[in-house]
Structure 1
Amino acid sequence: MNAVAFPPLRLAWMIWGLGAALYLIGFYQRVAPGVMTTELMTDFQLNATALGNLSAFYFYSYVAMQVPTGLLADHWGPRRLLASGASIAGLGTLLFAMAPDALWANLGRLLIGGSVAVAFVGMLKLAGHWLPPKQYSLASGMALFCCVVGAVFAGVPLRLLVDAFGWRPVMLVSAVVAFIVALAIWLLVRDDPTEKGYASHAIAHDDQAGHQDKGVMAGIRAVLGYRNTWLLYFIPGAGGGSVLTFAGLWGVPFLTTHYGLEKTTAAAICSALLVSWAIGGPVFGWLSDHLGHRKPLYLLGCVVQLAGWCVVVLVPGLPVWLLVLLLIVVGFFSGNMIIGFAFARESAPARLAGTASGLVNMGVMIGPMLLQPAVGWLLDRNWYGTMDNGARIYGLEAYRNGFSLMLAWLALALVLILFTRETHCKQIA
């Protein structure tokens, strides 16, 4: 009797790739409003506060879904979870594209954020079943590549499409793409290779599955009993929040208004910031593992970010080349937040490692969730009545006041890091 073979790698990566497609869509939707600010403000008659809130509706539901997503992945399986997520993402995008007013647009963004929140857990669940153990880390790294692709497409290409066809038709096509991904997942993806007659790699990765049934809130309470974990919950929102607040919403209008750049050029600069952020993550992760320390690199990253953002925000009229260089450096050092995941995992017992990582991920998303509308509120507080084609134009002082919230959170993050305990890359008992 012949042993059952593992699935061919080409098939395994195709299965994983369909899950990753939803993750790419999620990051594209996360930053898409940043290149459509004028159109959204004009169509929905929004001030900066309302626009920030519209963008942040994505994060409200995304954060809320972080806790139940793991349970849903175990109960439903990744196929049903990802197909449902892609379908609802398509519905949310359709609603957003056809929204007659801001209320319906907000609901569309809420549906998008909550639905794509299942992508990361779902595709890693597929990787655990379909891919060999030695390729599991590669799959995690490729997820970051999907972020980059989504972010880049939501920059200059999206801006050019919006200029050519208008934002609503482009979003309608985006909805169709999400529905196609949902159909492909349902037809082609299976939770486990055994459903297609192959052997499964699941044992290598599902050794902790049973812990999820012992109570999510109990796990969260246990994790927060360790000082490092609750400190590391508040810290990453500073770096991630600053990047996504600037590149994901307010960077394009700031650059077009105060540096006289074309919208496509401003979008390209914001995309460069996001790409450098994605590159910085694995570099900081590798360097931290190599040196055997978490705290010093985490601290260094925050120091450079704070210094860089201070120059960008507080020094007017920078040469464009220097501005771009600063944003790339800031983005790269913002990748230090990847250290927080390992830092938090090592700061709690191994049985709570998943919960600790989930809390850090929530902390990252809380940054833009709070900062995007808060910056908008301060912009409105400092608006002097200037309009252009139905959209409000904000002065340099207004942006300084708004972006000062980013600087304040980064300064707080610096202080909080000082109170963390170094793990030396070793799991506590």
Structure 2
Amino acid sequence: MAGPPLRLFMNQFGWRSAMMIVAGLTLGVAALIHGLARDNPSEKGYADRLPVCRVDRHFSIGAVAAGMAEIFHYRNSWLLLVIPGSMTGSVLSFCGLWGVPFLTTHYGMTPAKAAVLASAMMVSMAAGGLCFGWLSDRSGKRKPLFLLGCFGALVPFSVALLIEGLPIPILVAALLIASFCANAVVITFAIAKESVPARLSGTISGMVNMGTMSGPMILQPAIGWMLDFKWHGHMEAGVRIYSFEAYRAGFSLMLAWLLLSLVLLIFIRETHCRQIV
């Protein structure tokens, strides 16, 4: 949601001023979290509804390494390290970096309008997380909805990014559907915690989050590399202009990862919304 106002502010005052304000606001939020947030509801006088997990509070590097090694004894852990990055990476690579120049160059949108669409995709993604999480708990199943979300991201993204000259309404609909479905990735965290002993829930959550954030970390520069590789030398105002074929090749990298994830999801062990180890 910050995309359009940030774009307008940058147009008026420049990117440096915009980033300084964002940094200041972020520092303020960090200070509020430090002052107000607590590790447990009981520290604020509320009842603690969760069972207490008895763990050894003695910290050692060896214990951390042993916990990290142990989570990989379970098949789902390996799969969930690879799968979620494709879904978050596809949306964040498009919305956060390559989508706006793609839309302005090949669909004639202004930067502000392209930023609005990118922000709408992020809102759609957030709504998708709520829906897929609720449906998963309601149905008592994790795997079918995860598969549906991955498929629902792959197909609309393929339509929007591989077919040139789409009507704008179809393009927008495809991108919004893809981003909505991509946030079925929230189910990753539930499956992960249910697939290892409860005492390792923090370790597996950190590992899954690393896999999730590896998506944009890998895809954003990889797409950029492919765009440069396919660049034909066209520049405007000192900025490289990439052909649709170059974007198609770049975006094919994220589509290939989504397809791989769809295949790997077949091998995920269903947890039925309960601890299975």
* TM-score normalised over the length of structure 1: 0.60
Uncovered stretches (5+) of structure 2, i.e. residues with no partner: none
| 2:171 equivalent in structure 1 | 323
- Conserved 8 A contact 1:314-1:400: yes
Give the direction of change, closer, same or farther, for the CA distance of 1:272–1:200 in structure 2 (3 Å limit): same
| 1:258 equivalent in structure 2 | 106
Q: Distance between the aligned counterparts of 1:349 and 1:219, measured in 2?
A: 10
| 2:151 equivalent in structure 1 | 303
| 1:207 equivalent in structure 2 | 52
Give the direction of change, closer, same or farther, for the CA distance of 1:193–1:339 in structure 2 (3 Å limit): closer
TM superposition shift of 1:249: 0.5
| 1:354 equivalent in structure 2 | 202
Q: Distance between the aligned counterparts of 1:223 and 1:233, measured in 2?
A: 11
Give the direction of change, closer, same or farther, for the CA distance of 1:162–1:225 in structure 2 (3 Å limit): same
TM superposition shift of 1:202: 7.9
Matched to 2:274, the amino acid is K
SS of the residue 2:233 aligns to: coil
Q: Distance between the aligned counterparts of 1:287 and 1:325, measured in 2?
A: 22
Residues paired across the two proteins, number: 273
TM superposition shift of 1:209: 7.3
- Conserved 8 A contact 2:55-2:199: no
Q: Distance between the aligned counterparts of 2:100 and 2:187, measured in 1?
A: 29
Deviation digits for residues 48-85 of structure 1 (CA, Å, limit 9, x no counterpart): xxxxxxxxxxxxxxxxxxxxxxxxxxxxxxxxxxxxxx
State which drifts further: 163-172 or 255-264: 163-172
Higher relative contact order (CA 8 A, sep 6+): 2
* Alignment of structure 1 residues 153-168 onto 2, 5 Å: 153=2, 155-168=3-16
TM superposition shift of 1:384: 1.1
TM superposition shift of 1:327: 0.8
| 2:212 equivalent in structure 1 | 364
SS of the residue 2:19 aligns to: helix
Of residues 125, 129, 134, the one that matches 1:277 is: 125
TM superposition shift of 1:230: 1.1
Q: Distance between the aligned counterparts of 1:192 and 1:296, measured in 2?
A: 33
| 2:193 equivalent in structure 1 | 345
Q: Are residues 1:189 and 2:36 paired?
A: yes
Deviation digits for residues 377-406 of structure 1 (CA, Å, limit 9, x no counterpart): 000001111112221111101101110111
- Conserved 8 A contact 2:99-2:118: yes
- The two structures, once aligned, show a CA RMSD in angstroms of 2.2
Matched to 1:207, the amino acid is V
Percent identity at matched positions?
Answer: 52
| 2:226 equivalent in structure 1 | 378
Q: Distance between the aligned counterparts of 1:345 and 1:184, measured in 2?
A: 29
Matched to 2:167, the amino acid is P
Q: Distance between the aligned counterparts of 2:31 and 2:71, measured in 1?
A: 38
- Conserved 8 A contact 2:4-2:115: yes
TM superposition shift of 1:365: 0.1
SS of the residue 1:423 aligns to: coil
Q: Distance between the aligned counterparts of 1:373 and 1:163, measured in 2?
A: 25
Q: Distance between the aligned counterparts of 1:283 and 1:167, measured in 2?
A: 35
Q: Distance between the aligned counterparts of 1:308 and 1:264, measured in 2?
A: 23
| 1:230 equivalent in structure 2 | 78
Q: Distance between the aligned counterparts of 1:159 and 1:325, measured in 2?
A: 23
TM superposition shift of 1:201: 3.9
Q: Distance between the aligned counterparts of 1:311 and 1:331, measured in 2?
A: 13
* TM-score normalised over the length of structure 2: 0.91
Give the direction of change, closer, same or farther, for the CA distance of 1:340–1:185 in structure 2 (3 Å limit): closer
Give the direction of change, closer, same or farther, for the CA distance of 1:404–1:296 in structure 2 (3 Å limit): same
SS of the residue 1:335 aligns to: helix
TM superposition shift of 1:185: 5.4
TM superposition shift of 1:177: 2.5
| 2:135 equivalent in structure 1 | 287
Deviation digits for residues 305-360 of structure 1 (CA, Å, limit 9, x no counterpart): 11111111111111111111111100110111011111111111222222222211
Q: Distance between the aligned counterparts of 1:292 and 1:326, measured in 2?
A: 29
Deviation digits for residues 255-294 of structure 1 (CA, Å, limit 9, x no counterpart): 0000000001100111111111111012101101111111
Q: Distance between the aligned counterparts of 2:28 and 2:275, measured in 1?
A: 42
- Conserved 8 A contact 1:312-1:323: yes
- Conserved 8 A contact 2:67-2:200: yes
Give the direction of change, closer, same or farther, for the CA distance of 1:398–1:190 in structure 2 (3 Å limit): closer
| 2:255 equivalent in structure 1 | 407
More helix by share: 1
Q: Distance between the aligned counterparts of 1:192 and 1:314, measured in 2?
A: 46
Give the direction of change, closer, same or farther, for the CA distance of 1:236–1:193 in structure 2 (3 Å limit): closer
- Conserved 8 A contact 1:193-1:200: no
TM superposition shift of 1:192: 7.7
Matched to 1:268, the amino acid is V
- Conserved 8 A contact 1:304-1:330: yes
Q: Distance between the aligned counterparts of 1:255 and 1:190, measured in 2?
A: 40
